[in-house]
A and B are shown apart, each in its own frame.
Chain A
Amino acid sequence: MMTETNQANTKSPTRKALIAMAIGAVVGFVTMFAVSSFLSEGWIGEFDKSTKAAVLVGAFYVVMGLGVALGALKPKVGARILNVEDEEELMEQRGMLLHSCYAASLWGVGLVVAALGGENGVIPAATALIIAGILIALGSYFAWQSYRASDELMAAVNSDAMTIGYCLTFAVVGGWALLEHLGLAAGQDPIDVITMFYVLSMVATFVATGRRGLLKPR
């Protein structure tokens, strides 16, 4: 069921959702293709699969953050591409959305910096540690601010996401570590573990959001 507005919504929610999904898919594909090509060209160095995966996931977080920022700053445009009823809904939640976009973007850049740092990276280890540490800490601060600006439904979704994320991380990272310990799986690169935290947090957020009916086309 859609939320009800004072004005009749003349556009089909399914059509709107399909258009939004198509735009998201194109933007996601172009970003991933651009980042992937950039890393493969070797302009800034040669990278292994783990580093490339981490940079891609970081870039995805940044793009996601920018998409939310667009919705918060330009509600008219955002209402067309995000799964919301109308621009008013975006205006109502502007504070929470802006903090959330800062958090996602900072975390994304933090992961990219961490991935490109280290012994075989292009950023000296100490520099990467300081920059990534500051970005991730700042991102966490904004995530906390976003949580504080949320109403109780979104706070519940956040709590659900954290619980689901913990279980997923325990199962996937723990399961992989167990298999590795038993000699049944290849060893994990440390950056893979961090990348998995990011990916599993995102998956957990989608699951939690869907369980509360917020992924239904609107």
Chain B
Amino acid sequence: MENRLKHHRELHGWSQGELARRLGVSRQTINAVETDKYDPSLPLALRMAKLFQVSVPDLFIDHWEPEE
């Protein structure tokens, strides 16, 4: 799933390590999310959104649209 994690992280001037520390996960997890190798769990996505003070859909972009 496309995401803007790197954009928001860099906006705050944080390294992957710093973000990982704030979220209580490993740097590998942050890297895997940023490179679209891993979609985070809902609790982690919510924590990320809370940390950057944005909504989850602002961080994770899903292009799916409901059928009419």
Contacts and interface: CB of A to CB of B under 8 A. Distances in A.
B40 A152 contact: yes
A1 B29 contact: no
Interface in B22-40: 24-32, 34-35, 37-38, 40
A151 interface: yes
A89 B17 CA distance: 9
Nearest to B36: A213
Given A4-B15, A6-B17, A152 B25 contact: yes
A108 to B, nearest CB: 25
B17 A213 contact: no
Contact of B26 (A2, A6, A153): A153
Contact of A214 (B15, B17, B18, B28): B28
The majority secondary structure among interface residues of chain B is: helix
A3 B16 contact: yes
Contacts of B32: 153, 212-214
Nearest to A156: B38
Interface centre among B24, B28, B29, B32 (most CB of A within 10 A): B28
B41 interface: yes
A85 B27 contact: yes
Interface residues of B, number: 20
A153 B38 CA distance: 7
Contacts of B16: 3-5
B44 interface: yes
Interface string A1-17: 11111100000000000
A211 B40 CA distance: 15
B34 A1 contact: yes
A9 to B, nearest CB: 12
Contacts of B37: 211-213
Interface centre among A3, A88, A152, A154 (most CB of B within 10 A): A3
A154 B28 CA distance: 9
A92 B18 CA distance: 13
Contacts of B18: 6
Contacts of B17: 3-6, 88
27 contacts: A1-B31, A3-B17, A3-B31, A4-B16, A4-B17, A5-B15, A5-B17, A6-B15, A85-B27, A88-B17, A89-B27, A92-B26, A92-B27, A93-B26, A151-B24, A151-B25, A152-B25, A152-B29, A152-B44, A153-B28, A153-B29, A153-B32, A153-B38, A212-B37, A213-B31, A213-B32, A214-B28
Interface of A: 1-6, 85, 88-89, 92-93, 151-154, 156, 211-214
Interchain residue pairs A-B with the least CB separation, the first 5: A153-B29, A213-B37, A3-B31, A3-B27, A151-B25
